[in-house]
Structure 1
């Protein structure tokens, strides 16, 4: 019983570190799992910019990219990334289109900042616009929503949903 309680306390601290992290999530997960993080692109599509993104001053058409991050073939997070390709260098776009490098690694040499908009446990049904992507997950998971900003422009908006039960396997 005591070991289970200690595991929960350790996991709570790890989740807190992941949610509070303002650096690369990929690097944080690699340090935690002691494994290389790989990415699988589930979908990448253009769509019209929703009204809720008006503050970003993005073009009419933006990209929505859905990915899963893995360590040792264990899914650690499901992510949705939105961006205006007109604000991103062609080199980054080409690498995103290649689909095998996590965004955090693509941006490691770029001067930018992250602004966290939300970080907490979330009922996934509250993210109903993205429900299909988050199907087959436990209803409540740790979620981080943030912007990646360069020169006062939002380059990326990210939703990261961490799969807590899979993270536990690395304790």
Structure 2
């Protein structure tokens, strides 16, 4: 299901944090069996699935994320590599970098709740020299951009931005779609 996309408005965050991002909601369909996976107990913090097992239309999901990348960057999107993870208690990612020119994150579904509002929160970090030293009260410079996991939340950012995910609390489960997006490759090379 393709969704109408618009970048973060220039009057808001984009004006203060000049790196081009796309933060919004998408409606990427998941199979009914994926919802069953959210409730299934597991002994590991993360389980990875092939996109075909979870998404109703992986090609459409790739096109939706490519369109968000194009809306943010103005550049043509190329190959989109999708990855689906079911994240449970204890899952976290320390400071890391995506492997694509652009990266996308989409929360497909969540289950349970958390006492900590930051459970499974995505943070984007500017790695440029001096950024961490520019802590102006009330402005985003020197601080990460954060997004709490909610179904449909989609964040698209350049691959040179670092990211982290805070630990997922007990009883909280997140079905997460991530993508690495190349720039300028032929459109037929998607997925």
Identify whether the pair has TM-score above 0.5, normalized to the shorter chain: no
Greater RCO (Cα-Cα under 8 Å, separation 6 or more): 2
**If the length of structure 2 is used for normalisation, what is the TM-score?**
0.27
Per residue, is there more helix in 1 or in 2? 1
**If the length of structure 1 is used for normalisation, what is the TM-score?**
0.29
Per residue, is there more strand in 1 or in 2? 1
